[in-house]
Every structure is written in C-alpha cells, then in structure tokens.
C-alpha cells in the first residue's frame, strides 16, 4: 500500500509541518500552545479533533499537534508525520502518573527510556526485547534547556502501558522497585516508531497525579497550567 499525504488522519498538505512537532495528547493543550506561544500560528489539521498548527517561536518554525490517547493513536500520527511529512523531531508533551516517592505534582520528567506492555513492537518480529529509548540529541537539548530556564527536572525511565484502569491495583506500583518514575501511555510507541523511521523522539512529561498518594490535578490544570514542559521544549528549537 502506497501512502501519500494528506491521509485519513491528517489533512495538512506536504510541507505544512515544520521539522519539529510538539505533540501533547490533549487537543486543547495543542490549541493552548499555539495560541499562547506561537507567532503567526495557522491551523493545518482538525480531523478527529487532533488539532495541528504551524507557526514560529522566536522566529524558528515549529508545529504542534495532538496525538490522542494510547499507543495506537500516537503510533498512527507519529508514523505519518515521520514518513509522509518528513518531520525530523517529535517531542511528546504529556501528563503522567507518578509512582516514585521522590515525585510530587507538576514535577517535570524527561523520559530517557520507556518500559512498555504494548504489543506494537510485535509486528517487527524481533528475536529479543527492544529497548525504547529517547534520541540523545533531543535529550541533551532538553536538559540544557531546563537548566537555562531554571526549571527542576528528573531524567529517568517511565512505563508506557495500554491499561489505564488495571484490574490488579498493584501491577503498576511494582515497577517502582525497578526505578521507574511514572506511568503513561504513549512514549514507548513514539520511541519505537522513531527508531524504525530513523528519526528523533523525546518525551517530556508533567506529573498530573500520583498513584501512591492519590493526589491529582484538575482537567483545567492539565490543559492550561503545565507550562514548564512546554517552555523547555520550545527553548530547544
């Protein structure tokens, strides 16, 4: 099957995405970034409410697009951006549930790697277990950006899971003993797609709730107030 842009999922024309795309899960967070940080932003996609915009930040081209919930949604959009729109870098800006006792609400995590329970990797028929890791070039830029901005951060491993409501309430907490910082649903899929496409990927996450303590933020806070990770990513350009 020969794929061409536009697709069933992205209405943008070839050339309408910048080389770097920031990808929050929430379409309204994508809209927030475009309206509050980008200059001359124009909307280039609204299919399935996966809003996408291209503009500039301090004169540098950048796009932002929502990816939805879970590995399949992330993988579809990232695949098309990398392979059909010649995007070079995707930075996921997402929320995550903390499991490390060292984390508190609104802490920023730069995901060096992602353990996973998604079956997306199985299609490649690898004789072993693939390590889903970030692109070092982006990881280094993110750390440097956070330090310039004076934003505290933690670099480490996260868990990407397909299960939001686990039947066994302790199954995700067990990962804490392996040094996993938090749980989310998309970073591993992004890293897998990027590896296959020979492109760059990074996940920058904000702790929106803590699985151990039960603390959590509101939907409005998750949409509009998690600006540290946004600024870290934009200053990487």
* Residues forming the active site: 209
- Rounded to the nearest 5 degrees, what angle is found at the Cα of 73, between the Cα atoms of 189 and 3? 95
Q: Are 23 and 77 in contact (CB under 8 A)?
A: yes
Q: How far apart are CA 58 and CA 235, in angstroms?
A: 9
The number of residues in the chain equals 237
Question: In sequence order, which residues have a C-beta less than 8 Å from that of residue 6 and are 6 or more positions away?
Answer: 12, 13
Q: Which helix (H) or strand (E) holds 115?
A: strand 108-116
Report which of 7, 10, 37, 2 is spatially closest to residue 22, judged by C-alpha positions. 37
- Rounded to the nearest 5 degrees, what angle is found at the Cα of 169, between the Cα atoms of 167 and 175? 115
Question: Other CB atoms closer than 10 Å to residue 33's CB: what's the count?
Answer: 26
Per DSSP bridges, beta strands 52-57 and 39-45 are: antiparallel
Report which of 4, 7, 38 is spatially closest to residue 22, judged by C-alpha positions. 38
The three-class DSSP label of residue 206 is: strand
């Amino acid at each position: 099957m020969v794929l061409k842009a536009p697709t069933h999922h992205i209405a943008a024309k070839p050339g309408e995405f910048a080389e770097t795309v920031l990808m929050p899960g929430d379409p309204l967070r994508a809209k927030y970034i475009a309206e509050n940080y980008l200059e001359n932003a124009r909307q280039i996609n609204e299919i399935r409410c996966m809003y996408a915009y291209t503009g500039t930040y301090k004169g540098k081209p950048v796009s932002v697009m929502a990816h939805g919930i879970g590995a399949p949604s992330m993988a579809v959009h990232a695949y098309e951006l990398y392979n059909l729109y010649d995007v070079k870098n995707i930075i996921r800006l997402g929320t995550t549930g903390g499991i490390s006792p060292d984390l508190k609400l609104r802490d920023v995590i730069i995901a060096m790697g992602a353990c996973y329970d998604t079956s997306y990797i199985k299609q490649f028929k690898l004789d072993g277990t693939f390590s889903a890791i970030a692109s070092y070039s982006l990881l280094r830029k993110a750390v440097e950006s956070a330090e310039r901005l004076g934003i505290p951060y933690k670099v480490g491993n996260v868990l990407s899971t397909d299960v939001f409501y686990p039947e066994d309430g302790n199954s995700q907490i067990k990962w804490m003993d392996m040094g996993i910082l938090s749980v989310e649903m998309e970073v591993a899929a992004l890293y897998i797609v990027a590896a296959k496409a020979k492109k760059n990927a990074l996940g920058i996450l904000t702790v929106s709730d803590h699985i151990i303590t039960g603390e959590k933020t509101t939907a409005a806070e998750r949409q509009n107030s998690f600006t540290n990770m946004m600024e870290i990513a934009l200053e990487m350009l």
